[in-house]
Amino acid sequence: MHHDPGILQGEIRFITVTLLVFVSDCCCLCFLDVGGAADKISLIPQDFFAELCEQVVQHLNHKILGVNIAELCQRIQTSGIEIGVGDLAKIANIVSFLFSTAARNNLSTEELVTTLSNAISALPKHALQVIRHVWNEQGKSISVSEDAGNMVTVGQFVDIKWKLGVAMSSDTCRSLKYPYVTVTLTVADPSGQLTDKTFEMTIPQFKNFFRQFKEMAAVLETV
């Protein structure tokens, strides 16, 4: 079987340019403090890191709203590993950037692992093995829009919880006994990290809060 030399040279140039673009994007990881994150990744057992990578892929494929960093971090800490939520969130952001960039450049598993190994020498061996496996199994399913980087990104609402409480005392009064409402909002930020925001409201504030939701619902009924 004979190949046109011009076509082969064109293909080689295309592959070379693609890899150079990916290497350039990998250099951007420096701004995400990959060196510090690599030290933390080395502490995470392989099965937990694999779970994190799989959740990131599911988020990129819009199958889940976000990566449950708090829950995963708690289980890692329970296993005896000392790592904070902030460090784990940073790792999730790096993995998300890595997979989305590789998908945008249509990299094969070998191209991804080889380029990543050369660009980030501090990355632990077990992490590379996980990335190789996850990308080999699910990499082709990731679809990243060319305009994704230019879109205005906002958080996504996931859940809301509330509970009624009674304040029994304070620094100035020994017995208050007034009711209040504690509200917890769970939001997925653009990177996929789930964050809980908790705040308290007095009953009048909560009634106003509820009234505004009813007004929004009424407006939506007209759409």
Q: Which residue has the higher pLDDT, 31 or 64?
A: 64
CA distances from 216 to 68, 145, 161, 210, 223 (A): 29, 31, 19, 10, 11
Per-residue confidence (pLDDT) for residue 23, from 0 to 100:
42
C-alpha–C-alpha distance, residues 59 and 69, integer Å: 13
User: In this prediction, what percent of the chain has a pLDDT beyond 90?
Assistant: 13
Alpha helices in the chain (DSSP H): 5-27, 34-41, 46-60, 69-78, 85-104, 109-119, 125-138, 203-221
Average pLDDT value for residue range 62-75: 86
CA 13 from chain center: how many Å?
33
Burial 179-211 (b: 16+ CB within 10 A, else e): ebbebebbbbbebbbbbeeeeebeeeebeeeee
pTM above 0.75, yes or no: no
Phi, psi of 95 (to 5 degrees): -65, -40
Res 11 pLDDT > 50: no
Residue 176: CB atoms within 10 A of its CB come to: 12
pLDDT by residue (tens digit) across 179-219?
Answer: 888 888 887 766 567 778 888 888 888 888 888 878 877 77
